[in-house]
Amino acid sequence: MSENKIIVALGGDRRLIEAARRFADDNTVLCYGWDNYTDIHPRIRRCGDIKEAVSEADVVLMGLPCSADGVTIAAPLCDHKIEISCLLDHLPKDAVICGGMIPQAITEAREKCIDYYKDEFLQISNAVPTAEGAIMIAMEETPFTVDGARCTVLGSGRITKALVPRLKGLNAEITVVARKKTDRAYWETQGIRVCGFEKLGKVLELSDIIFNTVPARVIGKEEIDLLSDKSLIIDLASRPGGVDFEYAKQKGKRVIWALSLPGKVAPVTAGRIIYSSVFSLLYEKGVIL
Tell me, yes or no, whether 130 and 102 share the same domain.
no
Tell me, yes or no, whether 103 and 197 share the same domain.
no
Q: What is the pLDDT of residues 64-86, one digit of tens each?
A: 999 999 999 999 999 999 999 99
Is residue 2 scored above 70 in pLDDT?
no
Asked, for residue 69, whether it belongs to a domain, the answer is: yes
Q: What is the pLDDT of residues 243-276, one digit of tens each?
A: 999 999 999 999 999 999 999 999 999 999 999 9
Per-residue confidence band for 1, with pLDDT thresholds at 50, 70 and 90: very low
Asked, for residue 197, whether it belongs to a domain, the answer is: yes
Tell me, yes or no, whether 159 and 252 share the same domain.
yes
Asked, for residue 247, whether it belongs to a domain, the answer is: yes
Instruction: Share the mean pLDDT of the chain.
Output: 96
Burial 55-70 (b: 16+ CB within 10 A, else e): bebbbbbbbbbbbeee
Q: State residue 226 phi and psi, 5-degree precision.
A: -90, -10
By DSSP bridging, strand 28-32 and strand 44-46 are: parallel
Tell me, yes or no, whether 68 and 134 share the same domain.
no
Asked, for residue 60, whether it belongs to a domain, the answer is: yes
Asked, for residue 75, whether it belongs to a domain, the answer is: yes
Tell me, yes or no, whether 18 and 143 share the same domain.
no
> Pick from 147, 221, 206: which is nearest to 195 by CA?
206
Tell me, yes or no, whether 163 and 46 share the same domain.
no
3-class SS of residue 182 = helix
Tell me, yes or no, whether 60 and 169 share the same domain.
no
* Interatomic CA distance for residues 69 and 209, integer angstroms: 32
* Interatomic CA distance for residues 245 and 270, integer angstroms: 27
Tally the domains of the chain: 2
Q: What is the pLDDT of residues 12-27, one digit of tens each?
A: 999 999 999 999 999 9
Beta-sheet strands, E only, within the chain: 6-10, 28-32, 44-46, 59-62, 96-99, 113-115, 150-154, 173-177, 193-195, 209-212, 232-235, 254-257
pLDDT of residue 3: 76
Tell me, yes or no, whether 109 and 143 share the same domain.
no
Asked, for residue 1, whether it belongs to a domain, the answer is: no
* Interatomic CA distance for residues 275 and 119, integer angstroms: 12
Asked, for residue 45, whether it belongs to a domain, the answer is: yes
Q: What is the pLDDT of residues 156-173, one digit of tens each?
A: 999 999 999 999 999 999
Provide the CATH number for the domain around residue 42.
3.40.50.720
Q: What is the pLDDT of residues 122-143, one digit of tens each?
A: 999 999 999 999 999 999 999 9
Q: What residue numbers bound the domain in which 246 lies?
A: 125-258
Is residue 89 scored above 90 in pLDDT?
yes
Asked, for residue 150, whether it belongs to a domain, the answer is: yes
Tell me, yes or no, whether 136 and 249 share the same domain.
yes
